[in-house]
Structure 1
């Protein structure tokens, strides 16, 4: 069976490793190409878009794909909805692999919002030194703010619009709790802005913010397309595939 994994996440890479070692499965991982030096999964890899839902449906048919697992970032909404349309058009089963979201703990001061634009409004009302960890692609939503200082952390350097008072920290997780504590202290951070990405690699910043009494503006996830089953980990996704193919 040929399985297409829409990847770019740790879970996608672990799933590709598992499937690559499984007899009778050929796995192709698709990466968006937004990170300059991605961590490459085993098996076949393609980089770049498909040309929308229609192009993806055509690719599925041309490459005789037997199943699609959407293991993209929880906020990669466009590809997820294109995958749902394409899989339905090509009559290929589709599973969404999504790591569980974060949950607030006692002592957290969370301010949930539904968009980056609302996150910008909330951050402006809460403080003046913001640790912004929403990724380099969304900085345009904050570019109009000139009365707040931002520390932006991303894997690659941002190249689009961004706030005028911005320092950029290039780094890749996983991050440690001690490191996040020191970062908040050294930069005198009084607001943390993040997306509900889930997972352990970047969660220490939430603990550090709780300890320091720093409010957190957290952007809620977009929904998974209607009717698409969801697995919460690579093992569950592999079990779904085995049940389908067996």
Structure 2
């Protein structure tokens, strides 16, 4: 089966590798947010498509039979384009996403809608660990009354003032490491997107144990689509789809 995976997550890589091993012809699309991404097996498409019409053209020219949206939960525009293109082409599609994190009884998260709100919630004098990636960090950089520790896979493109510390690291992260980081930098606030998953959840447990306030940026609304929450679930969907198409 010819399958197009929209990647950008570890699950997308694991899924592509598994499908290639099963004999499917897989292309993974990478938007180019990360300059040096991990690459899956199979074919790789880099860059955008030019909106819904460009995506429809790409799907049609390559005769893909199934589209799988395994992008980050905050890649809302791409998810909307995938659903719209597939519905217009009458093509099958699936969303592979992570279960969102949920606050426990001991947690007191501040829930916000976007990055600007998150930056506004930081009180004067806060020392914040910001784990939102390298893009769109300006609202936090402009908080000259706060100390910011920015963790990302790659360095932001903008020039940063001395009070902003950049840590370049890839997940997974351990509880011990997260607690040591927060203690070393005297972190008072953790700012994170509700990405879900196990590889970065340790920061939430560390914040809970250390009494660090959490500012949680909630996910944007996405269009309705068939949805699974694991690579195994996606593989079963592909197997069922292949059987029904045979």
Shorter-chain TM-score bucket reads: over 0.9
Distance 2:35 2:123 in 1: 31
| Unaligned stretches of 5+ residues in structure 2 | none
Which residue matches 2:110? 111
Q: Alignment RMSD, CA only?
A: 1.5
| Unaligned stretches of 5+ residues in structure 1 | none
Please say if residues 154 and 169 of structure 1, whose CA atoms lie closer than 8 Å, have aligned partners that are also in contact: yes
Which residue matches 1:238? 235
Distance 1:220 1:152 in 2: 19
1:163 deviates by 6.7
Question: Relative to structure 1, is the Cα distance of residues 76 and 161 closer, same or farther in structure 2, using a 3 angstrom cutoff?
Answer: farther
Equivalent pairs counted in the alignment come to 243
CA offsets 1:65-106 (integer angstroms, 9 cap, x no match): 001000000111111111111112222111111011111123
Question: Greater CA deviation, 63-72 or 42-51?
Answer: 42-51
Please say if residues 139 and 161 of structure 1, whose CA atoms lie closer than 8 Å, have aligned partners that are also in contact: no
Distance 1:163 1:193 in 2: 19
Distance 2:178 2:155 in 1: 20
Which residue matches 1:179? 177
CA offsets 1:141-198 (integer angstroms, 9 cap, x no match): 3233111110000000001376773111111111111111110000000000000011
Question: Greater CA deviation, 75-84 or 85-94?
Answer: 85-94
- TM-score normalised according to structure 1 size: 0.94
Distance 2:223 2:160 in 1: 31
Question: Relative to structure 1, is the Cα distance of residues 176 and 83 closer, same or farther in structure 2, using a 3 angstrom cutoff?
Answer: same
Question: Greater CA deviation, 95-104 or 66-75?
Answer: 95-104
